[in-house]
Amino acid sequence: MMTFLKTLLIGSLLVTTGALADDASALRDKLAGIDSLHTTFTQKVTDVNNKVIQSGSGLFALAYPNQFYWHLTEPDESLIVADGTNLWLYNPFAEEVTVMDISQAIEASPMALLVHRDDKTWAQYNVAQTSGNANNQCYQITPKGDQSSVVDVNVCFNQQTLTGFSLVDGQGNLSQFSLAEQREVKADETAIFTFVLPDNVDIDDQRLKQPQ
């Protein structure tokens, strides 16, 4: 489960470099209009043989910059919280928490582009638009290097509304997420981006240690 959570936090057509740059700009423009997002989601994960290996649902929220909340409530609970500095991954069943620097998460998954807007981060990925219908505009994001556990991400919009996304990991598993009830994060909801460490859990601290 924890490996899947880390993976979460990350076209066959040939396109020119100019087209890729234009597609990246178009996606950045759409994401620039989303300073915060609060939405429910349904999830389906299939393996390389298109066999369903997991289905679920939960709550997803993000806020610029670098704040992220992912709460899977079914079938088994799990939680991801990015507070702007740290990324927390909590598995209640195993009673364990993994924590890493937000910069590590940015390097690990193209999903970081949803809450990060600097040129250096975007330069690590290729972006290509895969459909151009105004009501269903999708963009494929692939890392330029091999450091990511996520090898392919697609994000889709209806006009300016983020409607869903999908991820392919290194084993070929496809995770598809459909969003509903999208709205902005309310002022009294911002506490969801603060992780409260539960009692009696094992902590795996993977944060980069600063030299003394």
Q: What is the DSSP string of 91-110?
A: ETTTTEEEEEEHHHHHHH-G
Residue predicted with more confidence, 198 or 7: 198
Distance separating the N- and C-terminal Cα atoms of the chain: 34
pLDDT at 3 (0 to 100): 47
Look at residue 211 and tell me whether its pLDDT is greater than 80.
no
Average pLDDT score over the chain: 80
Helix (H, G, I), strand (E, B) or coil at 23: helix
Give which of 30, 116, 31 is closest to 66, Cα–Cα. 116
- The amino acid occupying position 40 is T
DSSP designation for 85: S
Give which of 158, 164, 196, 171 is closest to 51, Cα–Cα. 171
The tokens describing 12, both together, are 């066959």
Look at residue 2 and tell me whether its pLDDT is greater than 50.
no
Work out the average pLDDT over 154-181.
89
What does the alpha-carbon distance between residue 107 and residue 90 come to, in Å, rounded to a whole number? 20
What does the alpha-carbon distance between residue 117 and residue 122 come to, in Å, rounded to a whole number? 7
Residue predicted with more confidence, 189 or 121: 189
**Mind listing the pLDDT tens digit for each residue in 175-187?**
899 999 999 999 9
pLDDT at 101 (0 to 100): 85
Look at residue 46 and tell me whether its pLDDT is greater than 70.
yes
Give the full edge-to-edge strand order of the sheet including 136-143. 125-133, 136-143, 150-158, 161-169, 174-183, 36-46, 52-63, 67-74, 78-83, 86-91, 96-101, 202-205
Which stretch of 7-16, 42-51, 145-154, 163-172 has the lowest confidence by average pLDDT?
7-16
Is-above-0.85 flag for pTM? no
Q: How confident is the model at residue 75 (pLDDT cuts 50, 70, 90)?
A: confident
